[in-house]
Amino acid sequence: MIYLDNAATTRMYEEAVRVYNEYAVNRFFNPSASYQAGLDIAKQLNEGRYLLLKKLGAKKGTIIFTGGATESNNLAIRGSMRNGKYEYVFSVGEHPSVYNVAKELKNQGYIVHFVDLRHDGQVDYQKLEKVLNEKTRLISVMNISNETGAINDLAKIDTLRKKNAPNALFHVDGVQAFCKVNVNVDKYNIDFYTISAHKFHGPKGVGALYVRNPNSLKNIVFGGGQESGFRSGTENVAGIMAMLDAVKQIDIDKNFEYVCSLSKKMTDILGSDENVDILQTESPYILSVGFKGVNGETLMRALQDKGVIVGIGSACSAKKAGNRVLESLGYDKERVKSHIRISFSEDLQLQDIEKAGKTILQTYREIWEKVK
C-alpha cells in the first residue's frame, strides 16, 4: 500500500509508540497526585510545555494539553469570547472544527464575519481588512489549508490587525503547519495556536493550544482544574509524552526539502496529462488535483483497489456533499467533484511516488475512457 492521505493522519513513529507504551504501562501515574511518582510525571509534562514553546518560537506564554485540534480550536474561540457587542472574524476556508463553531456563534446571534478566499486559496486580505474594526474580538485564520496547501500570510494579517483592530486576539489553526514548516508565534503576535499530534506522527486524541496571555482565555469545561484550570480532566500522559517524542524526532527543514522533491515528482507525472488540473500552492505537503470528467470519489475508490490511498478533502467532512473550500475558490460543482487530495510525508520514497503517480494517471484514463 502507498499511503497518500497524510493530511488526514500520519503513521505513528515507532519510537513514539514505545514511549506511549512506557507511560501507559510502567509510568502510568496521575500527574495531579501528590506522591513522588505523580509529581515526577507533572514535572515531565511541564518540561514538555517548554519544548513546545521553543518549537513555536515563543519566549512567553503557556501550553495547554488537550484532546486534539477540535478541542483546542473550540477552547481558543469560545474561551476568548466576552460579553458585549464584539465581532468575530473567520475565513471561509477554515477546518470544520473552526468553521462550524463560527456558524454556531452566528446562529446564536453573535456578529460573525466570514472572509472569502482568493483564487490561490489564501484568505482575501482586502476583504479581511474591510471587516476589521475596533469591535473585533477575535480573528481566526488557519496557517496552512488542509484542503489545498495554501499558506496564509500571517505577517500581513498581523499588520492589518494592528492597523484596524488593535485590541483583537489572533487565533491560528496550525494543524497542517506545526512540525512541517517553521512557526514563530512571537514574530506574528499570535495569541492562540492549535496543534494536533496525529498530523506529525504522534498518537490520535492528543494535541495542544498555545496561549500567549492566560488572562485572555477562560475555561469552557469545568471539573478538577487540571492544566491551570483551562482544561479539566486527567491529562493523557502517554499520548502527550508520545507527541513530545515525535516533535523531538522531526527535522523540519530537512523534511520540507525532501517533501518538495516528492511533490514535484507527483506534479510532473500528473501534469503530463492536459485533463489533469493541479492547484499550485506553497505547501509541498498537500496537492489538490482535479481529473476532468471523472468523479474524485470514484477515482479514490478505484485507486484503493490498486493499493494507493488518497483523500477527497478533509477527513472530518469527507462524507458531506461538495467541498466548501474549493467552491469558495470559484470552482463549479463539476470541477469540485473531480478533485482528490494527495498529501505527503517524509517517510515516503521517490519510487513510491513514481509508482503511485503512474497508477493514478493510468486509473484515471481507464475510467475516463468508460465515461466520456
**Angstrom distance (rounded) from CA 154 to CA 150:** 12
**Angstrom distance (rounded) from CA 287 to CA 282:** 10
CB-based contacts of 159, cutoff 8 Å, min separation 6:
none
Nearest 10 degrees: Cα torsion 197, 267, 311, 13: -30
If we measure between CA atoms, which residue out of 172, 195, 202, 203 comes closest to residue 185? 172
Category of 89 on φ-ψ map: left (φ > 0), alpha (ψ -120 to 50) or beta: beta
Reply yes or no on whether 316 is catalytic.
yes
**Angstrom distance (rounded) from CA 198 to CA 202:** 5
In b/e form, how buried is each residue of 165-176, taking b as 16+ CB within 10 angstroms?
Answer: beebbbbbbbbb
Q: Give me the sign of the Cα torsion angle 11, 14, 19, 25.
A: positive
Alpha carbon 35 to its chain centroid, in Å, reads: 37
C-beta separation of 261 from 254 below 8 A: no
DSSP-assigned letters across all residues of 176-221 = TTBTTB---TTTTT-SEEEEEGGGTTS-SS-EEEEES-GGG---SS
Catalytic residue among 131, 316, 318, 367: 316
Q: In the chain, helix, strand, coil percent, each to 5?
A: 40, 15, 40
CB atoms within 10 A of CB 187: 13
Residue for grid cell 456563534: 105
Q: Catalytic residue positions? A: 316
